[in-house]
A and B are shown apart, each in its own frame.
Chain A
Amino acid sequence: MAVKLILRDKEYEVKPGMTLLDSLKKINILSESVIATRAGEMILDDEILKDGDVVKLIAVISGGSSGYMRHDTVGECSVLRGAR
């Protein structure tokens, strides 16, 4: 058995007994960029993950042009500008 972490359509497995923070480091996911839930409850970085745990990771970053930001283009490179 192992601990399963799921982010969108990707699944990762880590050894049990580690904290959530260490588990995220193992799979190269920044804890700042996700919220972790287990059995529908939010859990924090210091939570020890047990054998058989399934942790769903919810991405918190959104972007593109969706934030009503000025998004001008210069050449091939998009440049974000101040919002107005």
Chain B
Amino acid sequence: MKCKKCGAKAQVNMRQHKLALCKEHYLEWMPEQTERFIKKYAMFTRHEKILVAVSGGKDSLGLWDILTRLGYQADGLYLGLGIDGGINYSRESHRLAERFANEHGLKLHIVDIEKEYGQPIPTLAERSHRGYGKPCAVCGLTKRHEMNRIARDLGYDALATGHNLDDEAAVLFGNTLSWSADFLLRQGPVLPATEGLARKVKPLCRFYEREMTAYCLLRGIEYIYEECPFAEGAQSIYYKELLNKLETDRPGAKLIFYLRFLEARKSGELFVQKDVEQAHLHPCPKCGQPTSAPDLCSFCRMIEKVSPNV
């Protein structure tokens, strides 16, 4: 297969675009496309300060690389979760995130959950009895809370995450199976800032996970290849595999699924629009972040529950 731009041997084939590219042209194409998506969805400008949530994985490191190459003011945020799983998972992902920052001269904020809240994620999950034996729910809750807190405390204009199209399609698929209208209405490339919540953007939302892996391999970005030890059997992975089966037979199916959803959501065809962000939300009396709970937000309730001093 030949590169569509120069005729050299292609290294990446994107069947959904009928586009094969060599290494050189692929490494040009990815940032060009990212820039196109940033502008199309009005995510942020070069005058704004962006905080990139960096996990040490391919998507977040690839995103950070692309944004800085494009000239955006992008600092990183690494959250130390304290997950070991016999493979030093958090320690290794921390090392890779820090290494990338040092090699590229970038600023990386590091927040250690155990230092902040007295316990690592697995202990928080165990003591709070949330998540039915798996720490994923507590991990997700804590990450969302902390990313938002740091982005706002440090005055960043937007928080960028490395969600790719496979992530978005898997969430969409899960929420469609259960017809979770309220969650479907909140999904999109940009979640505007509201009272207590930083703007969240997903510049990679139209790239396949495969494309992000190819980008990191061709760019020489070292990322954590091992899965989180708690990810085994995760529903998100199951949905991604299902969607990849569909994609194998119908190239472009994942992309169309997501893009048609965005179009339908925007046009109001799907559901009656309402002010979903502000509906039933009020500031948590402790941390000030918005919550739909009657008193403290879920995160603060969890911390109160596990704190020995309360």
Q: Which of A28-74 contact B (CB under 8 A)?
A: 30-33, 35, 37, 41-46, 58-73
The answer to whether the Cβ of B228 comes within 8 Å of any Cβ in the partner chain is: yes
The answer to whether the Cβ of B302 comes within 8 Å of any Cβ in the partner chain is: no
Nearest CB on B from A80, distance (A) = 4
CB atoms of A44 and B1 under 8 A apart: yes
Most B Cβ at <10 Å: residue of A31, A32, A66, A70: A66
Nearest CB on A from B224, distance (A) = 9
Question: In the complex the two chains form, what is the Cα distance from A61 to B166 in whole Å?
Answer: 8
Closest Cβ neighbor of B12 among chain A residues: A42
Closest Cβ neighbor of B170 among chain A residues: A80
Q: Which of B11-64 contact A (CB under 8 A)?
A: 11-13, 20, 53, 55, 57-59
Chain A residues within 8 Å of B1, by CB: 44, 46
CB atoms of A84 and B218 under 8 A apart: no
| A80-B171, A84-B144, A84-B191 as given contacts; A65 in contact with B197, CB under 8 Å | no
Chain B residues within 8 Å of A37, by CB: 217
Chain B residues within 8 Å of A62, by CB: 57-59, 209, 227, 231, 237
Chain A residues within 8 Å of B57, by CB: 62, 66
The answer to whether the Cβ of B200 comes within 8 Å of any Cβ in the partner chain is: yes
Question: In the complex the two chains form, what is the Cα distance from A46 to B12 in whole Å?
Answer: 12
Closest Cβ neighbor of B56 among chain A residues: A66
- Chain A residues bordering chain B, tally (CB within 8 A): 38
CB atoms of B227 and A82 under 8 A apart: no
The answer to whether the Cβ of A1 comes within 8 Å of any Cβ in the partner chain is: no
The answer to whether the Cβ of B174 comes within 8 Å of any Cβ in the partner chain is: yes
Chain A residues within 8 Å of B197, by CB: 84
Chain A residues within 8 Å of B240, by CB: 33, 61, 63
| A61-B166, A80-B175 as given contacts; A32 in contact with B136, CB under 8 Å | no
CB atoms of B178 and A64 under 8 A apart: no
- Chain B residues bordering chain A, tally (CB within 8 A): 67
Nearest CB on B from A41, distance (A) = 7
The answer to whether the Cβ of A81 comes within 8 Å of any Cβ in the partner chain is: yes
The answer to whether the Cβ of B106 comes within 8 Å of any Cβ in the partner chain is: no
Nearest CB on A from B257, distance (A) = 14
Contact residue among A31, A41, A65, A77 (Cβ-Cβ distance under 8 Å from B230): A65
Contact residue among B53, B132, B180, B227 (Cβ-Cβ distance under 8 Å from A64): B227
Closest Cβ neighbor of A21 among chain B residues: B248
Question: In the complex the two chains form, what is the Cα distance from A69 to B205 in whole Å?
Answer: 13
Question: In the complex the two chains form, what is the Cα distance from A67 to B135 in whole Å?
Answer: 14
CB atoms of B241 and A33 under 8 A apart: yes
Q: Hey, what's the 0/1 contact readout for B173-195 against A, CB within 8 Å counting as 1?
A: 01100101011111100010000
Chain A residues within 8 Å of B175, by CB: 80-82
Chain B residues within 8 Å of A71, by CB: 136-137, 139-140, 236
Write 10 A-B pairs (CB below 8 A) sorted by A numbering: A32-B244, A60-B209, A62-B209, A63-B227, A63-B234, A63-B240, A66-B55, A77-B235, A80-B174, A81-B183
Not counting A33-B244, A65-B140, A82-B183, a sample of 20 additional A-B residue pairs whose C-beta atoms are within 8 angstroms of each other reads A30-B241, A35-B210, A42-B218, A59-B225, A63-B170, A64-B136, A64-B237, A69-B171, A70-B140, A70-B171, A71-B236, A73-B132, A79-B174, A79-B180, A80-B171, A80-B175, A81-B180, A82-B175, A83-B186, A84-B191
Give me the 4 closest cross-chain CB pairs, A-B, nearest first.
A64-B231, A82-B183, A65-B136, A80-B174
